[in-house]
Amino acid sequence: MTPENSHKLQLNDIDGKVAIITGASKGIGKAIAIALGESGAKVVLAARTQSTLMNVEDELREKGVDALHIPTDVTDSNSVELLIEKTLDSYKKLDILVNNAGNGVFGNVVDFDVSDWDSVINSNLKGLFLCTKYALPSFISQGDGQIINVLSVAAKVAFQASSAYCAAKAGALALTKVLAAEVRHQNIRVTAVLPGSVETPFWDDIPQHPDFDKMLQPEHVAETVLSICRQPIGMVTEEITVTPPLGIL
């Protein structure tokens, strides 16, 4: 080996890899599915609404992507376990898990409905735990795997009227760090992606929101996830924050 080649890095090739993306029916999840699929990955689309999942699946297949939709409620352990089982039955392996599903309900603590609190915590935190828990045995068995948790800057920045959302994302970031410590010696890479505000249907039911023109686009987050998947073998990015040029969170 010549000196000039002795430090050449071997990039990860995602062609042919199997990736599950939760919350894949719209917004960031759909953009991630497209980015990974167009780069050669076989993508499993997970979300609650079958009709919208089927539309994304059809769109991907028209692009020549090997795609499979599996309706999934990430807050239900049986549903998540079935997601992993169907993926392994169809593709015989799992290489990448992108935990992206989550919802947001906003309001001051004093007036906040308990059922809304439970919904936000369950979708953003419990769902991430369940998907990871049931995907890990496959990763551990094959001695390889990648988990990317799409969170939010709300994991670190407190926003008024966002108690449940900030708490859920902060908990998810802590869980991500614990998980990374637990599995790093088993060749499983774990990364937290913290986007700022992204123009997605997330804002449809929120009357007051930042200027859409100053937000990130879903494709910005998708390209970040794709770059993480392609990072050189032996390298792990544990956390990355993505914000628009003007710094709008």
Cα dihedral across residues 235, 195, 126, 25: positive or negative: negative
What is the rounded average pLDDT for all residues in the chain? 91
pLDDT > 70: percent of the chain: 88
pLDDT tens figures, 151-188: 999 999 998 999 999 999 999 999 999 999 999 999 99
Helix axes of 163-183 and 127-142: crossing angle, nearest 10 degrees: 10
Q: Predicted confidence band at 1 (pLDDT cuts at 50, 70, 90)?
A: very low
What local confidence, expressed as pLDDT, does residue 159 receive? 87
pLDDT tens figures, 81-101: 999 999 999 999 999 999 999
Whether the pLDDT of residue 148 is over 90: the answer is yes
pLDDT tens figures, 198-236: 766 565 565 566 655 667 889 999 999 999 999 998 889
Q: Is 14 exposed, middle or buried (0-12, 13-18, 19+ CB in 10 A)?
A: buried
Is 134 an annotated catalytic residue?
Answer: no
Distance in angstroms (rounded) separating the CA atoms of residues 33 and 26: 10
Catalytic residue among 165, 170, 218, 226, which?
A: 165
What local confidence, expressed as pLDDT, does residue 244 receive? 80
What local confidence, expressed as pLDDT, does residue 210 receive? 62
Mean pLDDT value of segment 118-137: 98
Whether the pLDDT of residue 247 is over 60: the answer is no
Whether the pLDDT of residue 78 is over 70: the answer is yes
Whether the pLDDT of residue 8 is over 80: the answer is no
pLDDT > 90: percent of the chain: 80
Model confidence, pTM: 0.91
What local confidence, expressed as pLDDT, does residue 241 receive? 94
